[in-house]
Structure 1
């Protein structure tokens, strides 16, 4: 830790106002995916929902919630739940957690898994935001990355969601895919923009361990674009979306004003959140936990106790580093005021002075008018170099 004081201020003990719930079931496993997910066929989904309900009960007993402002149901593909299971699951969430009337309630979905009946069930259960995993509109690339939907499924799913009354919609696109060319990315972005959505998430492919792509990469059988071409793709995405009136509020996320992901901003501000479900992470009162990952092991554990795989205290030095790393992902940057409120009045200058000075000299960070730091345009392109300075 850079220039850390001998005595670190205590962490601010907030009760989480954000809730993450993991549904680990998918129609199939994509070739790039290292999330804790399992093909749904043959899985004990109803038993999983029973166990999840019990984890909710045990969680609120141990750490009673205040009002929940954001809920995010991720996976896996939560929309593989059938309407009856969906109704039951969403009722369970509302029974255990006091959800604010103006809460942002997001559910991830795959194109083709949201028919009108399921969308109506989601609306009735409180979901008001859907994030669709589109990834690309190129049919060959969809096959290459192991997706089983077609481009037209994205268009139909968005149309169904709008018809069901959903206005807050987002899709994920990926770039840097095997054999992907800039022209293919441009075509996908144009088709995405035609959908006229308020939010887009745009991610560069990362080859993660425990994936098919990693095994191919190890054998030199994964033909990825050159670094220069991937950079050109990212620069094109930024230019194209900003030209359409979307604000890049985080390295990978673009939104119309008022449609930024409130839940993800909780993570980027290093604020606490409940994390429930198999393999879920949570952060509260200076402790980070990760749950047991396997479906049946999770069910067995959660039916009798909190299903923790491990729980670790986060000391102030690590939390300060986390604050800088995740906070600088936001293009608005980090504020001295927020740093001080989380860390007992400490300042970024006294904690990270040398690193901040060096990054400014390199042209990667700049001061903000509101008393803090943000990435420069060059820093956005070289974000990992910036974040690494605070590890």
Structure 2
């Protein structure tokens, strides 16, 4: 082996994604089951200090990797002050090798930023924003428990333009209590008129522990102004999403995600392709060298343990080959392009048909799965019932 090849192999680093969890919000939305809650300025400052200390603790690990994407999620990361944003990213850049073309996303809610804060985000390297709108109807926003109106969202959107951001996602939700096909179509029309680069469009799921789930259990969503749309109406909203976004030049590249060409979320694609990722902060998860581990879901305990140099891990699992094959299939099939037979062979040294042949036959017969050359992907019908289809790939 020549010296140059040896040096290249020695210096070549593995790709890594960073996820930083900011578990603070102004108030909990009625549908939200994420690990987040309101907090004082003092609590937020203490958490940021602990977060920075955790980032710095990965100095040894970081030498093996080059960071390709960074994602600040929550909660509401845009509640951070400009100074806290600068401090967090300074710690990241001093600890990790970050690719000069890295995608760096920050989630934000309308009404939580001003132009100064947006400039601070941009100066720190943030080049992609994910804005939580959910609906363009003020009655629906109030019912969801959102802290903003549609008019306040528009003000925030204009500020992101003034700050020079050119890669922005808008989150939308359908099948909401009291929502009609007409009100949802109006939301789509208003949002598409803004020409966002990316849209994440989710259908409401009633999660245990949320206000909505409690209302559902008590029958409050079965009647009246907050009645849930029927299954037929929910399906119609999904079809309307696909149609209207395609007409606007936004292609569907994953079950719930649509983008203009070249504006797909690289961070999320990394999850679905099983790129290694490191979660930082309370409640975050990681996948490093075939091991999955989770952090404690308690802000106060997280801060105390970081300060005292104690472990913040609550679960660790070395993934078996079977578990990795499961993830390859049920994550990869979320993408419209599906998975590659060749990639499966290269990852596991096995022919995917030898492992999943019987399942393939069943799903193809039910018109839920289709095959094209090297690719295996869900059909349009398969996308509609994806949860049931993907569960078939669990051993």
Q: TM-score range by the shorter chain?
A: over 0.9
Equivalent-residue separation in structure 1 for 2:299 and 2:107 (angstroms): 19
Equivalent-residue separation in structure 1 for 2:95 and 2:346 (angstroms): 29
* 1:55–1:305 Cα contact (<8 Å) kept: no
Residue 361 of structure 1 pairs with residue 348 of structure 2 = no
Larger mean Cα displacement after TM superposition, 194-203 or 16-25: 16-25
Give the structure-1-normalised TM-score: 0.93
Residue 335 of structure 1 pairs with residue 334 of structure 2 = no
Higher helix share: 2
Please name the residue that 1:374 is paired with: 377
CA shift, 1:289, in A, is 0.9
Q: How does 1:95-114 map to 2 (within 5 A)?
A: 95-114=94-113
Residue 200 of structure 1 pairs with residue 199 of structure 2 = yes
Equivalent-residue separation in structure 2 for 1:28 and 1:116 (angstroms): 23
* 1:70–1:105 Cα contact (<8 Å) kept: yes
Larger mean Cα displacement after TM superposition, 122-131 or 214-223: 214-223
**Matched position secondary structure for 2:328:** helix
Residue 388 of structure 1 pairs with residue 353 of structure 2 = no
Gaps of 5+ in 1: 1-13
Please name the residue that 1:166 is paired with: 165
Higher relative contact order (CA 8 A, sep 6+): 1
Give the structure-2-normalised TM-score: 0.92
Q: How does 1:92-131 map to 2 (within 5 A)?
A: 92-131=91-130
Q: Deviations over 1:146-174 (max 9, x none)?
A: 00101012212111111111100010000
Gaps of 5+ in 2: 1-12, 222-226
Please name the residue that 1:80 is paired with: 79
Q: How does 1:1-391 map to 2 (within 5 A)?
A: 15-41=14-40, 44-62=43-61, 64-222=63-221, 223-303=227-307, 304-343=309-348, 345-369=349-373, 371-391=374-394
CA RMSD after TM alignment: 1.4
Q: Deviations over 1:20-40 (max 9, x none)?
A: 110111111101111110103
* 1:87–1:121 Cα contact (<8 Å) kept: yes
* 1:111–1:134 Cα contact (<8 Å) kept: yes
Q: Deviations over 1:241-261 (max 9, x none)?
A: 011111100010000110000
Find runs of 4+ consecutive structure 1 residues off by over 4 angstroms.
none
* 1:67–1:100 Cα contact (<8 Å) kept: yes
Equivalent-residue separation in structure 1 for 2:142 and 2:264 (angstroms): 30
Larger mean Cα displacement after TM superposition, 214-223 or 282-291: 214-223
Equivalent-residue separation in structure 2 for 1:227 and 1:65 (angstroms): 49
Equivalent-residue separation in structure 2 for 1:114 and 1:199 (angstroms): 20
